[in-house]
Amino acid sequence: MSVSSSVKALRGQIVSLRGNPFLHPSAECLTHHPDGLVIIADGHITAAGPWETTAPLLPAGVTPVHYPDHLIMPGFIDTHVHYPQIQMIGAYGEQLLEWLNTYTFVTEQQFANRAHADRIAKIFLRELLRAGTTTAVVYCTVHPQSVEAFFAESARLNTRMIAGKVLMDRNAPAPLLDTAQRGYDESAALIARWHGQGRQLYCVTPRFAPTSTEAQLDAAGALLRDHPGVYLQTHLCENKGEIEWVRELFPERRSYLDVYDHAGLVGPRSVFGHAIHMHEGDFCTCHARGAALAFCPTSNLFLGSGLFPLDAATDPARPVRVGLGTDVGGGTSLSQLQSLNEAYKVVALSGGRLDAVRAFWLATLGGAEALYLDDRLGKVAPGYEADLVVIDPKATPFMAFRSDYCTSLEEQLFTLMTMGDDRAVRATWVAGECVHDRDAA
């Protein structure tokens, strides 16, 4: 094989973030090349910049895939999603605790069947890629085979995914319960098999405090200590009834977050979903420990949970790492463009404003920072993994009409996040390979 045959290139508008717009002026954080070129080799970006200065770096014989009038952006990052729940997305009419019992626990029991898990994992990952999402932090079920199915399909696609087996040893149906010891042992075996294998990363996953005893939360903390570099995901302060239940189950703890902190679960690579009803002390703890919060706007609205306090979380005096999550099936779409549409409304209802640069930060480089992967994901820049999404601002006749009246890149991005969905994703590239092409047969 010649050198040039292993090199690929994409031409179009390049849009990427280079800084945190919650800490710096938005205009200073945006990189834009109206006619840009991205050169890729061995799954990584080797060059990215204006066409006129980057084209001379193309090896002989390499013809770029040209996306005229399209935006080449970093692949979207989803920091909180449940792959088993895609078959119950849009389930009607409950708040969190009732919704779990009525729909979620019933659905998740089906994942004892490996064939079922295989089928849903394939559909889930296909739909993620169709939405332009290339990395996600994923809840499986209590069954180890649900994790095996997910990672096997992710490995086949070469996507960088973070996932883990749910831990639950109380307050759930018997078929979904493990024990503190079995949860530890099964998680440790999955870590040994998958963490760091190719692009797969493992996440220790107690569902939330009410479904784990103190012994199981302590076992989760032991998994983090025994396997440095793995992740932790769970739910936090999503619903007021849930918070009251945690207070009853753990009366000696100062707060919901303190339940996790006592077990050693709050630190770098810890991702807490929702975190709507937080107090200042909890934000300070997350800032000090380097923990991240997943903002899940479509889910928080759909289940009536509340409005995530984005401005408080990102306060420059003690900023907390924040990523964007779809939380399907509580959320209503795997599209991060639709998530940003609802995120804008959540912030507006809270008295703030979410501009397009800050919004796309949450979906790309901010998500990578939340996951401590911002040295390899979230930018269109040399040295970064070539996970890219190509966005079509004129994906529908109405979007094309509106796009013609945009007078700046920021306005174009804002209309994308308010009008866009999976139809706007022209192509998705993973590790330098095109894994989704909207217009292909």
Task: Kindly report the pTM of this predicted structure.
Answer: 0.97
At 93-121, the pLDDT tens digits run 788 888 888 999 999 999 999 999 999 99
Q: From 340, 370, 400, give the residue that closes a domain.
A: 370
Residues 197 and 299 in one domain: yes
**CATH number of the domain within which 140 lies:** 3.20.20.140
Residues 67 and 88 in one domain: no
Q: What is the pLDDT of residue 2?
A: 44
Residues 358 and 414 in one domain: no
Total domains in the fold of the chain: 2
Residues 307 and 195 in one domain: yes
At 270-301, the pLDDT tens digits run 999 999 999 999 999 999 999 999 999 999 99
Per-residue pLDDT, averaged over 366-395, amounts to 98
Residues 68 and 101 in one domain: no
- Is the pLDDT reported for residue 431 higher than 60? yes
Q: What is the 3-state secondary structure (H, E, C) of the chain?
A: CCCHHHEEEEEEEEEEECCCCCCCCHHHHEEEEEEEEEEEECCEEEEEEEHHHHHHHCCCCCCCEEEEEEEEEECEEEEEEEHHHHHHCCCCCCCHHHHHHHHHHHHHHHHHCHHHHHHHHHHHHHHHHHCCEEEEEEECCCCHHHHHHHHHHHHHHCCCEEEECEECCCCCCHHHCCCHHHHHHHHHHHHHHHCCCCCEEEEEEECCHHHCCHHHHHHHHHHHHHCCCCEEEEEECCCHHHHHHHHHHCCCCCCHHHHHHHCCCCCCCEEEEECCCCCHHHHHHHHHHCCEEEECHHHHHHCCCCCCCHHHHCCCCCCCEEEECCCCCCCCCCCHHHHHHHHHHHHHHCCCCCCHHHHHHHHCHHHHHHCCCCCCCCCCCCCCECCEEEECCCCCHHHHHHHCCCCCHHHHHHHHHHHCCHHHEEEEEECCEEEEECCCC
Residues 179 and 208 in one domain: yes
**CATH number of the domain within which 394 lies:** 2.30.40.10
At 3-31, the pLDDT tens digits run 455 899 999 999 999 999 999 999 999 99
Residues 246 and 289 in one domain: yes
For residue 186, what are the domain limits?
A: 76-370
Residues 209 and 251 in one domain: yes
Residues 91 and 8 in one domain: no
Q: From 345, 370, 395, give the residue that closes a domain.
A: 370
Residues 16 and 125 in one domain: no
Q: What is the pLDDT of residue 5?
A: 57
At 325-365, the pLDDT tens digits run 999 999 999 999 999 999 999 999 999 999 999 999 999 99
Residues 252 and 306 in one domain: yes
Residues 169 and 302 in one domain: yes
Q: From 370, 405, 429, give the residue that closes a domain.
A: 370
- Chain mean pLDDT for the chain: 96
At 62-88, the pLDDT tens digits run 999 999 999 999 999 999 999 999 999
